[in-house]
Structure 1
Amino acid sequence: MPRNITDIVRAGLKKRYRAEARFRLYGITAILAALVLLFTLFVTIVSQGASAFVATELTLSVPVTAAVVDPEGTRAEATLSGANYRKLVLDALDAQFPDVQDRIERRKLHAIVSDGATYDLREKVMANPALIGTTVTLTTPVASDFDMLAKGQVDVSQPESLRRLNDRQIGWFNTLKERGLVSFGLDRNLFVNADSRQPELAGIFGALMGSLYTLLVTLALSFPMGVAAAVYLEEYAPRNRLTDIIEVNINNLAAVPSIVFGLLGLAIFLGFFGLPRSAPLVGGLVLSLMTLPTIIIAARVALQSVPPSIREAALGIGASKMQTVLHHVLPLALPGIMTGTIIGMARALGETAPLLMIGMVAFIADTPEGILSPSTVLPVQIYIWADSPERAFLERMSAAIIILLTFLVIMNTAAVWLRRKFERKW
């Protein structure tokens, strides 16, 4: 028996509603899956890197004998700087274990102390020569292997042949802990040092300054050029085939893989112009080329969002074309331009591939002092540490990722805040 039109419509509506419910379920499932993966990523990074912010420290009473530090009693800076402070530190450690007399065993005992203890003691004495002849309480990070032991990253149940530390070394370290000489504190080296061969002394400050100088060069070049290009294309350029070709190429450049810009920088800035390798100046030039299309596109969209009535009103009261653009259109488009610029700079901050091509992957143990100094950047520093087999460097790599993600979140949050605060509804 044929159904009436009402039944047919109802059946069609039910089918459509079921399809819409399935589509909504697919969308919710995709969002939940993305959130779970993102949460897993953050938990993994934080669990691996949180311990890097904590340093295992050893406290020793170190007699600063004049016979070692300043035998002539001149208190000359060169003499104090070149003294054998490591001997003083190791003698203080030997005093904790007088029964260890074998040369090989003493060498294994001395492995507890980081090389940083020598520098810490030298800084103390040079800052205050009156400490010579007294006993100094020195608190310094332990070597990375013992730091991993204190943080539970060493499986002591394994045979000695499979561990970097033998049973006697573990016993000595536990004895120091029982005597209250081992403590935990904020790892200052992570924030104030540049890279180092010893994980316990390696820090991100050098890479952070390299990133800062590189981004300053990038911003100084890409922002004015990007805004000027957007203003010209949007306000002055005639609509013809040449303009269409320029617009297509700008859109295409925004999608070019970043490593292509690194190859361009390697060939032009290093090969042709001979600029210094591994310098923030070259890194900034390369990242400027990469960021420029993003800023141009964002600036053009912001200029297009300004109503034509603003331009017509300014021209109607006698303003010139330049006055209209500079005094009325550009200020109203500035929030959108700043948002696009910050997003472009955030992308530049996280780039690695183009900087690897221009040599910023080199080991740099000093903090850069300018845009021409050899340096690395934070993402490349992460790459260098990730390539190291030592567990302590992997811990520092995760900590550097946390810091990098923090900067990226701050920059993107600033972009959203600027857009919401200064954006006008027309």
Structure 2
Amino acid sequence: MTNTSMSTREKVEKSMVRRRAAEKRFRVYGMASVLFGLLCLVGLFGDIINKGASAFRQTVIQTEILIDADYLGINKKADDQEIRNADFEGLIKQHFKKLVQPEGRSERRMLYSMISAGAAWQLQEAVMLNPSLLGQTMSINLIADDDVDQWFKHDRGTELHNNRMNETQVKWLEQWIEQGMLKTQFNTLFFVNGDSREPELAGIRGAITGTFLTLLVTFLLSFPIGVAAAIYLEEFAPRNKITEFVEININNLAAVPSITFGLLGLAIFINIFGVARSTPLIGGLVLTLMTLPTIIISGRAAIKAVPPSIREAAFGLGASKMQVVFHHVLPLALPGMLTGTIIGMAQALGETAPLLMIGMVAFVVDVPGFVNDPSTVLPVQIFLWSDSPERAFMERTSGAIMVLLGFLVTMNTAAVMLRRRLERRW
């Protein structure tokens, strides 16, 4: 009898040892998977930051240039139009020709190619702001060409060879470095300019403005519609097969690929209603279709989280169904609805595929002023730059990704803080 009981006890102890070992292995596997995911995330962010941090610095050529009024053919009383028509590009070429003294036409072309096309615009803007500069020598930081920018920030002093820079140009650049003319400064153009064919002039202001206007349209449409649909389905809709059919399809729409909504917007809003392509209005309409299921589902979950005792107490005091919903249930469920809306907006912020279907992939230089102006959005701008062969565009692609990730992290952090601040625990 004792031997039998000891044998059973030993079996139980061995079983417990195996169970504890299995539990320990499971915990180790879980920790290893979390650690692996964090390492991948750190590696991804590290690679993006490593490639994109230099996009926030721009190489400039610091020089003192004589604003020759006779060469420009204008005087201090000239109006803005006359200043715009003046040949500032020729003035800059003449200045660097005297400074470097290139031999022959080919060397002159090489010299002029090292200066950005935006340098003449810089000089023009300075004179327009202060016409008294005419006839004086001014110190200015002229934008260098993107090949010079890449050489100065990445290739100088290494064994890397930029095939677009020859030995003569490198010799000139080394001389400028010795003279203190070549340096880097914060790239303000990256934030204040729209898109450009020249990498050193390309910026994200147009894309950010288009993104803001698109998300504004999305929020103004999706939030009231989503909240109204959630309230109706949860509080007022009769429980029948039609309601079940609608609920099932809303849940299914939340898992539909986003490009499907782009096709839907193309077929309905553009082909039937004639909404203009590549505008924040059509982009907001398409993203509204995509975010509505998320907002409705989160809204219904927030309404369900309100305790039944709140409703019962309101009914006991003689409140009507409408008063119970809008005076008691909705205020308590609103924090959860706002959280779901912010998460849906963050999802819309990172979408590219549906916007490609409605023409927001177009090259747009001007910054949009309203929802019906041609524009693009930040994810599409990243897509366009990533397809460009110039090294400087690849650098700006990573820089724009950093800005986009900053917006996404901010929106998700705001959702978490809003939920913790406003939600009530029962």
TM range (shorter): over 0.9
> C-alpha distance in 2, partners of 1:230/1:378?
31
Q: CA deviation at 1:126?
A: 1.2
Q: CA deviation at 1:173?
A: 1.0
Show the counterpart of 2:13. 10
Show the counterpart of 1:325. 325
Distance 1:408 1:72, change over 3 A: closer
Q: CA deviation at 1:398?
A: 0.2
> C-alpha distance in 1, partners of 2:74/2:125?
18
Q: Deviations over 1:41-95 (max 9, x none)?
A: 0000000000111111111212111123234775132211110001111222222
> C-alpha distance in 2, partners of 1:413/1:21?
33
Q: Contact 2:84–2:124 (CA<8 Å) still a contact in 1?
A: yes
Q: Deviations over 1:146-173 (max 9, x none)?
A: 00001124797467xx711101001111
> C-alpha distance in 2, partners of 1:129/1:158?
44
> C-alpha distance in 1, partners of 2:172/2:192?
30
Show the counterpart of 1:366. 366
1:208 aligns with 2:208: yes
> C-alpha distance in 1, partners of 2:394/2:160?
21
Distance 1:72 1:154, change over 3 A: closer
Show the counterpart of 2:72. 69
> C-alpha distance in 1, partners of 2:69/2:8?
107
SS in structure 1 of the partner of residue 64 of structure 2: strand
Q: CA deviation at 1:101?
A: 3.1
Greater shift after overlay, 126-135 or 277-286?
126-135
Distance 1:63 1:302, change over 3 A: same
Q: Deviations over 1:305-358 (max 9, x none)?
A: 000111111111121111111111101011100100000000000000000010
Which of 106, 112, 115 lines up with 1:113 in the alignment?
Answer: 115
Show the counterpart of 1:392. 392
> C-alpha distance in 2, partners of 1:83/1:101?
27
Q: Contact 1:51–1:151 (CA<8 Å) still a contact in 2?
A: yes
> C-alpha distance in 2, partners of 1:244/1:274?
34
Q: Contact 2:251–2:293 (CA<8 Å) still a contact in 1?
A: yes
> C-alpha distance in 2, partners of 1:208/1:193?
11
Greater shift after overlay, 57-66 or 117-126?
57-66
Unaligned runs of 5+ in 1: none
Show the counterpart of 1:147. 149
TM-score under structure 1 normalisation? 0.97
Q: Deviations over 1:351-402 (max 9, x none)?
A: 0000001010111111011100100000000000000111100000000000
Distance 1:72 1:178, change over 3 A: closer
> C-alpha distance in 1, partners of 2:210/2:310?
43
Q: CA deviation at 1:261?
A: 0.3
Which of 28, 49, 54 lines up with 1:25 in the alignment?
Answer: 28
Say what the alpha-carbon RMSD is for the aligned residues. 1.4
> C-alpha distance in 2, partners of 1:335/1:166?
61
Q: Contact 1:193–1:202 (CA<8 Å) still a contact in 2?
A: yes
SS in structure 2 of the partner of residue 151 of structure 1: helix
Q: Contact 1:61–1:92 (CA<8 Å) still a contact in 2?
A: no
TM-score under structure 2 normalisation? 0.97
Query: What count of residue pairs does the alignment treat as equivalent?
Result: 423
SS in structure 1 of the partner of residue 210 of structure 2: helix
Which of 136, 155, 162 lines up with 1:134 in the alignment?
Answer: 136
SS in structure 2 of the partner of residue 139 of structure 1: strand
1:178 aligns with 2:178: yes
Q: Contact 1:116–1:201 (CA<8 Å) still a contact in 2?
A: yes
Distance 1:294 1:154, change over 3 A: farther
> C-alpha distance in 1, partners of 2:159/2:342?
51
Written as runs of structure 1 = structure 2, the 5 A alignment for 1:235-314 is 235-314=235-314
1:124 aligns with 2:126: yes
Give the AA of the match of 2:140: L
Q: Deviations over 1:74-129 (max 9, x none)?
A: 5132211110001111222222212x131110110111111111111111111111
Q: CA deviation at 1:257?
A: 0.1
SS in structure 2 of the partner of residue 4 of structure 1: helix
> C-alpha distance in 2, partners of 1:260/1:239?
30
> C-alpha distance in 1, partners of 2:242/2:178?
78
Q: Contact 1:69–1:132 (CA<8 Å) still a contact in 2?
A: no
SS in structure 2 of the partner of residue 210 of structure 1: helix
Show the counterpart of 1:80. 83
Q: Contact 2:57–2:187 (CA<8 Å) still a contact in 1?
A: yes
> C-alpha distance in 2, partners of 1:148/1:72?
38
> C-alpha distance in 1, partners of 2:177/2:157?
18
> C-alpha distance in 1, partners of 2:147/2:292?
46
> How high is the sequence identity, in percent, across the aligned residues?
53
Unaligned runs of 5+ in 2: none
Give the AA of the match of 2:245: I
> C-alpha distance in 1, partners of 2:156/2:375?
33
Show the counterpart of 1:355. 355
> C-alpha distance in 2, partners of 1:172/1:219?
54
Give the AA of the match of 1:420: R
SS in structure 2 of the partner of residue 185 of structure 1: strand
> C-alpha distance in 1, partners of 2:174/2:321?
78
> C-alpha distance in 1, partners of 2:121/2:364?
19
> C-alpha distance in 1, partners of 2:75/2:126?
20
> C-alpha distance in 1, partners of 2:160/2:185?
28
Show the counterpart of 2:225. 225
